[in-house]
Amino acid sequence: MMQLPGKGLMVNRSYCRIAVVLLLLSFLLGLFLAGGCGKASDHVTIRFWNVFTGPDGRTMLRLVKRFNRENPDIRVLMQRIEWPSYYNKLFIAGLGGRAPEVCVIHTDVLERFIQAGFVHPIDEFLGGEYGLDGEDFDANVWEAVEKEGKHYALPLDVHPLGLYYNKRLFREAGIVDAEGEAKPPTDRQEFLDAAEKLTRDLDGDGTNDQWGFVYTWLRTNVYAVMAQWGGEAFNEARTSCLLNTQANVEALQFCADLVQEYGVAPSPEHFDAWIGFRQGKVGMALEGIYMLPDLEKQTDLDYAGVPVPLFGNILATWASSHNLCIRSDLDREEQMASWRFVKYLSDHSVDWAVGGQVPVRKSLRESEAFRRLEVQSEFAKQIPYVKYMPRVPFILEFYSEFDLAVEKALRGSVSPQEALDVATVNVNKVIERQNAMLHEAKSRESG
Amino acid sequence: MKRSHLSGYLFLVPYLLLFSGFLILPLGYGLGLSVFRWELLSPVSAKFIGWNNYAEALRSDYFWKAFGATFRFVVMAVPATVGSALLIACGLNRVGGAKRQSFYRAAYFVPTLISISVAGILWRWFYNSEFGLFNAFLAQWGLKVPWLTDVAVAMKSVVLMTLWWTVGGPVVIFLAGLKQIPNQYYEAAAIDGAGTLQRFFHITLPLLRPVLLFVVVMSIIGSFQVFGQTFMMTRGGPELSTRVLVQYIYETAFTNYRMGYAAAMSWLLFVAIAAFSILQFRLMRER
């Protein structure tokens, strides 16, 4: 190209600008055309929303890409959304009639989506060409997605709470079996003994700098212990809150005693306590299987995972599931495409488990591939007796009361009885408000 | 209408459209919402309930606890921010050399550019009482501060972090204000034998009053709306001692989906902010 100094250069520049604009225009045109082509061709587009923004998102994306390759008639578009805003976006999208065809919903909040009428029951798909046997799920897991005889979601995984322990600290404290290997506790006494031995003041300054146990997430930790005492949050009909019953109070007392009475756990610090475990300053923590990828990245931590010890008198632990849900107002073609995708993910959930999950289908857990996953297999032993959070549409309001009561009790500001009494009164108020509205809706229907 | 006026209004149109579309309209809509019971989870549609939402808020322990937390933050954060910003600006104003001055100004301003989520997470780690940076440092003297875990300390820690995060803005404004004050006044005062403090109180402060008023009012408005810091560092804990009004409104609207009730509380917050701003205007003008 000829280049003249001065004015010539300016001319060239404006040509450049025109060229750029033309390029952009043609790019946009291309996009439009491609979009048009997409509509003209005969594949069904399925939008799939989930919360997998961590490493698990990459695992899921690989599965989605494989599905798209193997099923040319369906195109799945995956959208990952950050945790704090996920359910807001999903719910608002549902209200606005723009919900994705397939989405992931945790078991504890499923009820509000069912009540709002956003999700389609899957029972009709279980027979037939792309069928699946409900018997392949553990009864408690399968029941957790059921309402009035219909199943509203296909559980993809189950993530129970288990006991992670630091093997090196155990060996140092002499908590070992006959072969000299770290021996994790299985009941309350063993747990307390181990925790006491592990809690130490290493530098002799009068304060502990190594702890036997930390609370990483009060809500799940305490809920699991309450379940072991046989405590229930609600009566069967969910019309009355039972948080301040004796079983729950005793369980919460035990949890508080670990801090106040036995002094084997620091005052609750919420999530950051997990950093302490990762730094090797903590002997034991109760956390979900989903924390495993975090630990696997670490080469200097000698850890293992086992089922939660028996603190109370019933074997139980907390768990939740990621459930695959299908939007309620799809046409038949979209429904079948969505279901085929959902079933595909379920069939391949062993691959999903690698990212720190436990497949929910019994047949897959028996596979050799899954048995090789050590911590997952240990945590999976608990599945038959895991307990999900109570199924109420106002679960988040329940959580705020529950969390506050537990926090107050563990910090010793009020007694467990007092804390749970207050929470019970407040949760009952929420129930009253809900019932008043349901009542109004019914009388409006009949009137 | 005169022709010249018309063109003025025409120039205003784009802004007025945005202003009414994104501020006036939602404000009015919110006011309307606040007299309805509208819950997204409810099977019944919105229902007019008059002042009930306001009445519920004024009777609710949680509302007053959140209001109290917000008020405690304002009372601590506004004087702390304005005071330190003024001090820093006066100091910077005396730093010789334009380059050096703009370097320091930038240094104080940089934290303001950090997003609250990053700053919040960073400081949550600093503050961690078992494993955090601050306590690791204080451990030399055998000290251990429960920065975010003690009911009596948590809000102060939030204020300290806010100071670091926001002081840069007012510093820049004060610095600009200080530069507006003609040097002759100081020279005259120096000749009359006025000391540093006298010069500050009798020249700097009175001449800076319009700027000060602006900074104080903006700081009050901003502080009443505090949310990001507490949400990122404490989630409102321990025991709700740092759950401020905006967080409570946010939770009411977007986790409990009680839109009407949340709208009513937003209007109560609006009234509180307006009241304190007007009060501040009056106080600082009449002097």
Residue A35 confidence (pLDDT) above 70:
no
For residue A299, give the H/E element and its range: none
Q: Which residue of A has its CA nearest to B61?
A: A426
Angle at alpha carbon of residue A62, lines to A61 and A63, rounded to 5°: 90
The pLDDT, as a whole number, for residue B235 is: 87
For the beta carbon of residue A221, count every other beta carbon within 10 angstroms: 26
Cβ–Cβ below 8 Å for B43 and A438? yes
Q: Which residues of A touch B41 (CB under 8 A)?
A: 112, 115-116, 393-394
How far off is chain B from A99, nearest CA to CA, in Å? 15
Q: Work out the percent of chain A whose per-residue pLDDT is above 70.
A: 91
Q: Give A387's strand partners.
A: A318
Cβ–Cβ below 8 Å for B146 and A276? no
Q: Which residues of B touch A423 (CB under 8 A)?
A: none
Chain A residues within 8 Å of chain B (Cβ atoms): 88, 91, 95, 112, 115-116, 205, 207, 266-270, 272-273, 275-276, 279, 281, 393-394, 396-397, 400, 404, 407-408, 411, 413, 437-438, 440-441, 444
Give the span between the Cα atoms of B39 and B47, in whole angstroms.
10
Q: Which residues of B touch A408 (CB under 8 A)?
A: 239
The pLDDT, as a whole number, for residue A26 is: 66
Q: Which residues of A touch B130 (CB under 8 A)?
A: 266, 269, 272-273, 276, 281
pLDDT digits (tens, 9 = 90+) for B75-108: 999 999 999 999 999 999 888 778 888 898 889 9
Q: Which residues of B touch A396 (CB under 8 A)?
A: 255-256
For the beta carbon of residue A379, count every other beta carbon within 10 angstroms: 30
Give the span between the Cα atoms of A293 and A298, in whole angstroms.
9
Q: Are strands A154-155 and A386-387 parallel, antiparallel or unpaired?
A: unpaired
Cβ–Cβ below 8 Å for B42 and A437? yes
Tell whether B18 is covered by a domain.
no
Cβ–Cβ below 8 Å for A270 and B240? no
How far off is chain A from B149, nearest CA to CA, in Å? 7
Q: Which residue of A has its CA nearest to B43?
A: A441
Cβ–Cβ below 8 Å for A394 and B240? no
Q: Which residues of B touch A407 (CB under 8 A)?
A: 237-239
Chain A contacts in chain B segment 2-41 (CB below 8 A): 39-41
The pLDDT, as a whole number, for residue B61 is: 92
The pLDDT, as a whole number, for residue A369 is: 84
Tell whether B131 is covered by a domain.
yes
Q: Which residue has the tokens 């690698």?
A: A354
Tally of domains within chain B: 1
Q: Which residues of B touch A53 (CB under 8 A)?
A: none
Name the pLDDT band for A283 (thresholds 50, 70, 90): very high
Q: Give A303's strand partners.
A: A166
Tell whether B129 is covered by a domain.
yes
The pLDDT, as a whole number, for residue A8 is: 42
Tokens found for residue B227: 């949310």
Mean pLDDT, residues A368-389 taken together: 91
pLDDT digits (tens, 9 = 90+) for B179-201: 999 989 999 998 998 888 898 99
pLDDT digits (tens, 9 = 90+) for B210-248: 999 999 999 999 999 999 999 999 888 789 999 999 999
Give the span between the Cα atoms of B192 and A287, in whole angstroms.
72
Residue A2 confidence (pLDDT) above 50:
no
DSSP A133-170: -GGGB-HHHHHTTEETTEE--EE-EEEEEEEEEEHHHH
Interface A-B: count of C-beta contacts within 8 A:
64
Cβ–Cβ below 8 Å for A95 and B42? no
Look up the CATH number of the domain holding residue B252. Answer: 1.10.3720.10
pLDDT digits (tens, 9 = 90+) for A105-148: 999 999 989 988 999 999 999 988 888 888 899 999 999 999 99
The domains found in chain A, sorted by start residue, are 42-156+321-381 (3.40.190.10), 160-319+394-439 (3.40.190.10)
The domain containing residue B262 runs over which residues?
A: 57-286
Give the span between the Cα atoms of A189 and A309, in whole angstroms.
10
Tell whether B281 is covered by a domain.
yes
Q: Which residue of A has its CA nearest to B253?
A: A88
Give the span between the Cα atoms of A380 and A378, in whole angstroms.
5
Tell whether B206 is covered by a domain.
yes
Cβ–Cβ below 8 Å for A440 and B251? no
Q: How far apart are the first and last CA of chain A?
A: 83
Cβ–Cβ below 8 Å for B130 and A269? yes
Q: Which residues of A touch B131 (CB under 8 A)?
A: 272, 275-276, 279, 281
Spell out a b/e string for A157-173, using b for 16 or more CB atoms within 10 Å of the CB, else e: bbbbbbbbbbbebbebb
Instruction: Give me the phi and psi of A405, to 5 degrees please.
Output: -60, -45
How far off is chain B from A228, nearest CA to CA, in Å? 26
Decide if A63 contacts A348 (C-beta within 8 A): yes
Q: Which residues of A touch B139 (CB under 8 A)?
A: 205
Tell whether B137 is covered by a domain.
yes
Decide if A211 contacts A281 (C-beta within 8 A): yes
Tell whether B2 is covered by a domain.
no
The pLDDT, as a whole number, for residue A14 is: 67
The pLDDT, as a whole number, for residue B1 is: 52
Q: Which residues of A touch B42 (CB under 8 A)?
A: 437, 441
Classify A122 as helix, strand or coil. Answer: coil
Sequence-distant (6+) residues with CB within 8 A of A156 are A104, A321, A322, A323, A324, A345, A346, A349, A352, A357, A360
Tell whether B1 is covered by a domain.
no
Task: Note whether B152 contacts A: Cβ–Cβ < 8 A.
Answer: no
Of A403, A393, A374, the C-alpha closest to A437 is: A393
Mean pLDDT, residues A158-165 taken together: 95
